[in-house]
Amino acid sequence: MIGNFCFENLPCRVVFGSGTLSAAASEIERFGGKRALVLTTPRQDDKGRRLGAALGPLFAGIFPGAVMHTPVAVTERALTALKECNADCVVALGGGSTTGLGKALALRTGVNQLCIPTTYAGSEMTPVLGETKDGLKTTVRNIAVLPESVIYDVDLTLSLAPHLAATSGINAIAHAAEALYARDGNPVIALMAEEGIRALAHALPAIAAKPDDREARTEALYGAWLCAVCLGAVGMSLHHKLCHTLGGTFDLPHAETHTIVLPHALAYNAPAAPEAMQRIARALGAGDAAWGIHDLARRLNAKLALRDIGMPDDGIDQAADLAVTNAYWNPRPLERETIRDLIARAFAGEPPAPAE
């Protein structure tokens, strides 16, 4: 049955396909940009320079220094670069770390952003920016950080190694899964969420089997876009809160953390969100949502234990305490001991807890 709901469409312009990077100059001109600063990570410096050359007179300079979790010190160096080359807009070419830097610059200066995502993290569709300073991560929600234009080019994702595609893809699935039980969810986002999960669950094993499978890479990027829209449109719950806490406290890698925690968070929320779980399971082609994700991660050879990605043995209680402080909405009330058990299972790489 369809109940009352509120639906707010965020402004979003998307150019999707193969070879679409060639639209970068026209997208910059479309929002009135004259001089663009290209942002990348050190690893993607060469891609950024090739894009800069293709931009011709629109290219003002490059800042290849983006890093995970958007540290304010890096943003300040990028701000200096922006001023020195007299840029009036930015082009963020990379994963969520690069997108985050573009957003941090937009928040401080109002520059327009063209975002060209090369992972499935999804930040490009959200008005949310997470920044870190002195080891503390803060999050702001402000429409000013939403990119003006986004180019998805499948060709850029071909270099994403299958193990990175796997964890980045399950990171995207997490957005859609939590959107299906969001307090402010709505029927349109639910459609996108289910289709996003279906596309990724279908494409990721095909990418693992044949990394240059263009059709699968296209389907995965399409699914990632749908999941990203879900992340930008509705509120997230326990799973995202846990990953935020674990990542920030123990400096764990973003996509891997999401991949490990998701089955456990879904098992925790299952009794309180049966309809959402049915839709997730259906999209996965599995009998159960939590087990379906666990099985997908296993088939993709992803790491299944937080202890294998750098979480210390004595971190479980600290993480459980942090997960229940600063109360936030979740379909199931936050129970410290059960959440501790959830984290302990994820730490050890056990399967999700059996249904209650």
CB of 175 to ligand NAD, least distance (A): 8
20, 41, 237, 245: which one binds ligand NAD (CB under 6 A): 41
| Cβ–Cβ < 8 Å for 174, 258 | yes
Judged by CB under 6 A, how many residues of this single chain contact ligand NAD?
Answer: 28
Q: Does 156 bind ligand NAD (CB under 6 A)?
A: yes
Tell me the per-residue interface mask from 268 to 297 with ligand NAD, x by CB under 6 A, - otherwise. ------------------------------
CB of 43 to ligand NAD, least distance (A): 4
The residue at minimum Cβ distance from ligand NAD is 96
Q: Does 157 bind ligand NAD (CB under 6 A)?
A: yes
CB of 105 to ligand NAD, least distance (A): 14
CB of 29 to ligand NAD, least distance (A): 25
Q: Does 160 bind ligand NAD (CB under 6 A)?
A: yes
Q: Does 147 bind ligand NAD (CB under 6 A)?
A: no
Looking at the Cβ atoms of 95 and 315, the one nearer to ligand NAD is 95
CB of 129 to ligand NAD, least distance (A): 6
Q: Does 123 bind ligand NAD (CB under 6 A)?
A: yes
Give the DSSP H/E element, type plus range, for residue 153: strand 149-153
Q: Does 126 bind ligand NAD (CB under 6 A)?
A: yes
75, 112, 118, 245: which one binds ligand NAD (CB under 6 A): 118
| Cβ–Cβ < 8 Å for 220, 200 | yes
Tell me the per-residue interface mask from 76 to 95 with ligand NAD, x by CB under 6 A, - otherwise. ------------------xx
Residue given tokens 């920016």 in the structure block = 129
| CA distances from residue 256 to 125, 217, 317 in whole angstroms, order as listed | 21, 19, 21
235-250 CB burial, b ≥16 within 10 A, e <16: bbbbbbbbbbbbbbbb
* Listed ranges 114-122, 182-190, 321-329, 348-356: which one lies at the site for ligand NAD (CB under 6 A): 114-122
Residue given tokens 């296209």 in the structure block = 218
Query: What would you report as the CA-atom Rg of the chain, rounded to the nearest whole angstrom?
Result: 20
Rounded CA-CA distance 249/350 in Å is 22
Q: Does 96 bind ligand NAD (CB under 6 A)?
A: yes
CB of 266 to ligand NAD, least distance (A): 19
Structure tokens that stand for 233 in this block: 């449109």
CA-wise closest residue to 162 among 301, 354, 288, 2:
301
Structure tokens that stand for 195 in this block: 């289709």
The pair phi, psi for residue 61, each rounded to 5°, is 165, 180
Q: Does 43 bind ligand NAD (CB under 6 A)?
A: yes
DSSP 220-281: HHHHHHHHHHHHHHS---HHHHHHHHHHHHHT--HHHHHHHHHHHHHHHHGGG-HHHHHHHH
Q: Does 245 bind ligand NAD (CB under 6 A)?
A: no
CB of 22 to ligand NAD, least distance (A): 17
CB of 335 to ligand NAD, least distance (A): 26
Strands 149-153 and 136-141: unpaired
The pair phi, psi for residue 351, each rounded to 5°, is -70, 165
Q: Does 68 bind ligand NAD (CB under 6 A)?
A: yes
Rounded CA-CA distance 171/96 in Å is 11
Strands 112-117 and 149-153: parallel
* Listed ranges 19-27, 83-91, 156-164, 199-207: which one lies at the site for ligand NAD (CB under 6 A): 156-164
Binding region for ligand NAD (CB under 6 A): 41, 43-44, 68-69, 94-98, 100, 118-119, 121-123, 126, 128-130, 156-157, 159-160, 168, 231, 254-255
